Structure 1
Amino acid sequence: MPLLHVDHLVKDYRLPREAPWRAPETQRVLHGVSFTLEAGRSLGVVGESGSGKSTLARLVMALEAPTSGRVTLLGRDLHRLSPRELRLARRDFQMVFQDPYGSLDPRQRVGRIVAEPLAMLPEIDAAARRTRVAEALEAVGLRPGDADKYPHEFSGGQRQRIAIARALVTRPRLIVADEPVSALDVSVQAQVLNLLRDLQDAFGLTYLFISHDLAVVEYVCDEVLVLQHGHMVEHGPVAEVFRAPRHPVTQALLAAVPRLEAAGA
């Protein structure tokens, strides 16, 4: 059984009424997207702006409901779970967002930010929570003492490490990373990408990696899925797709994006 199975996922959004007497129209953002992701593997989802990448991420995270189709994680259809069941299931899948500062509450200390997902684990007491936070910070290259600081005291790359620590703290099986390095300098991108690879090796993580940058996906992912206007136009192993891209969108993305040579963290 694959860790994650996405089956014919469709998402429509209702548009504003053009006039009070007219029925609202809808816009289809995803058109029957399907894929499977095995445990310990990484799938990169790429496409131009507006291709549906972030919508797909929100549906996989059960932050929005699909118009039709299913998202099955560890055999559970996430969109058919009760609110309580979904809350408990979230220990198995977490998300890292694009903006490493906007995704962190500037009024909260790092320790509280990282510990926030542990609220869905009622069996974790205060002492275990502190231990989990310290372990997560150390896993991303920060110090346990950093738990007492605020996000503004860190660089952009360090703030993204904090966001990754928050995703790790529940010991999830799947991490959905939505453009996790696009807001960082190129040299810092390389450090964070190396960190993500190291964490995958250490903890057996599975990544769904959303990006517009095929060079980043080539470095991190085993497979790539290309979206255009919500349609899946190409899907396969990274090495094969990059060696012989079949679709014009894939060819254009490969031609337009400079390659990223990742350096040591």
Structure 2
Amino acid sequence: MSTDPSTLLRVEALSCSYALPRRLPWRPAGRVQALRDMSFEIASGASLGIVGESGSGKSTLARTVMALQAPDAGRVLLKGRDLHQLDAAALRKARSDMQMVFQDPYGSLDPRMSIAEIVAEPILTRSGFTKAELHQRVREALEAVSLRVADMKRRPHEFSGGQRQRIAIARALVTRPRLIVMDEPVSALDVSVQAQVLNLLQELAKWQGLSYLIISHDLAVVDHLCGEVLVLREGQVVERGTPDAVFGRPQHAYTQELVAALPR
């Protein structure tokens, strides 16, 4: 792997596995391999898509990159720091540069909290912010995703699915991160709303210099947002390249099957 200073995220030889239920109490539990020797880089301002069918290891990759799950082997380096070697305080600080947006916009938002509280949550534990500064950060994040500041006191159930996903994106933006990891960011939304959210993400990348790691089974989402794509099958990368090359001229039989199944 390169040591280019423009590299924002570097994943090196990442492997992860899960223990299977014991079939017999006197026999050791088996393991299933979710990721196998996976490596890639994301440069500052660039975006990478990871595609594959369910069970290919996409969500395991997202959790491991976010240091929510420890790998069996390999490293995840954000700006040169191995996230899985940091103590709790250093990891919290590192997460200011990296946030996550989940698949279900409603399930990831606490229904008891106001929108202002939800968006402010990632920076509440950080010292040095006055109440006025917190309010300004929340205001800026909401305005960035085209939501009204007047709605700060409302609860998640009062918004549509597309608006709730915008709230989730605002919460990710409030720390002013360099990288946002997105696990199926629009699959729970109607098609017309998907287009609105994808266009918003594209604009944010352009104007704020964000990098995205997009985890998706939807090739069209990755084609719209990413400059490079990795095709994942059973935890291994079977093909990589630009979306035009991978989706337009797929070389691996598995990629050809994925492209053939894409609605026209």
TM-score norm. by structure 1 comes to 0.96
Give, in whole Å, the separation in 1 of the partners of 2:99 and 2:130: 21
* SS of alignment partner, residue 56 of structure 2: coil
Stretches of 4+ aligned residues off by more than 6 angstroms = none
1:74 aligned onto 2:92: no
What does 1:11-26 align with in structure 2 at a 5 Å threshold? 11-26=16-31
1:149 aligned onto 2:154: yes
Query: 5+ residue gaps in structure 2?
Result: none
Q: 1:194 aligns with which of 191, 199, 204?
A: 199
Give, in whole Å, the separation in 1 of the partners of 2:135 and 2:123: 10
Q: 1:50 aligns with which of 55, 58, 71?
A: 55
Letter in 1 for 2:60: T
Deviation at 1:121, TM superposition (A): 2.3
What does 1:24-43 align with in structure 2 at a 5 Å threshold? 24-43=29-48
What does 1:98-117 align with in structure 2 at a 5 Å threshold? 98-117=103-122
Deviation at 1:17, TM superposition (A): 1.3
What does 1:236-251 align with in structure 2 at a 5 Å threshold? 236-251=241-256
* SS of alignment partner, residue 51 of structure 1: coil
* SS of alignment partner, residue 3 of structure 1: strand
Change over 3 Å in CA distance of 1:226–1:120 after alignment to 2: farther
What is aligned with 1:224? 229
Give, in whole Å, the separation in 2 of the partners of 1:124 and 1:200: 26
1:215–1:258 contact (8 Å) kept in structure 2: no
Query: 5+ residue gaps in structure 1?
Result: 260-265
What is aligned with 1:136? 141
Give, in whole Å, the separation in 2 of the partners of 1:160 and 1:176: 14
What is aligned with 2:90? 85
Letter in 1 for 2:217: H
Identity across matched positions, percent: 63
* SS of alignment partner, residue 134 of structure 1: helix
1:212 aligned onto 2:213: no
Give, in whole Å, the separation in 2 of the partners of 1:123 and 1:253: 49
TM-score norm. by structure 2 comes to 0.96
Give, in whole Å, the separation in 2 of the partners of 1:137 and 1:88: 23
1:170-199 deviations in Å (ceiling 9; x for gaps): 000000010000000000000000000000
1:90–1:120 contact (8 Å) kept in structure 2: no
The two structures, once aligned, show a CA RMSD in angstroms of 0.9
1:44–1:217 contact (8 Å) kept in structure 2: yes
Letter in 2 for 1:53: K
Deviation at 1:120, TM superposition (A): 4.0
